[in-house]
Amino acid sequence: MSRLVAFVSLASAEYADAIVWYEDARAGLGEEFRSSVQGMLRLVGERPKVFAVHPRTGLRRALVPRFPYVIHFEATEERIVVFAVFHAKRDPGQIIERL
């Protein structure tokens, strides 16, 4: 069963900013990033429990293929709530402020 995916506002802005950054770096790369994130979100929606829980945030995390980004999310029976689309080098402790 696939779940509805909802982004908190900061996560949505991070995601949009990353798409723009990659598109500015090379035409078409922003679309490739978007496609990779969307593919991972489909998998997260179908099988959220296969993703590990981060010990500092308590959120599950999914690595974006080909890109150094991590999706931090919480899963319920009905939906996936995305709290962050973070560059892998950022401190995930910053997400705690959003919870």
CATH number at residue 70: 3.30.2310.20
Which pLDDT belongs to residue 1? Answer: 59
Per-residue pLDDT tens digits for 44-72: 999 999 999 989 889 999 999 999 999 99
pTM across the whole model: 0.91
Taking the CA of residue 43 as centre, how many other CA atoms within 13 Å lie in the half-sphere pointing to its CB? 14
Give me the residues paired with residue 75 across strands.
80
Which pLDDT belongs to residue 28? Answer: 98
Domain range enclosing 37: 4-98
**Number of domains comprising the chain:** 1
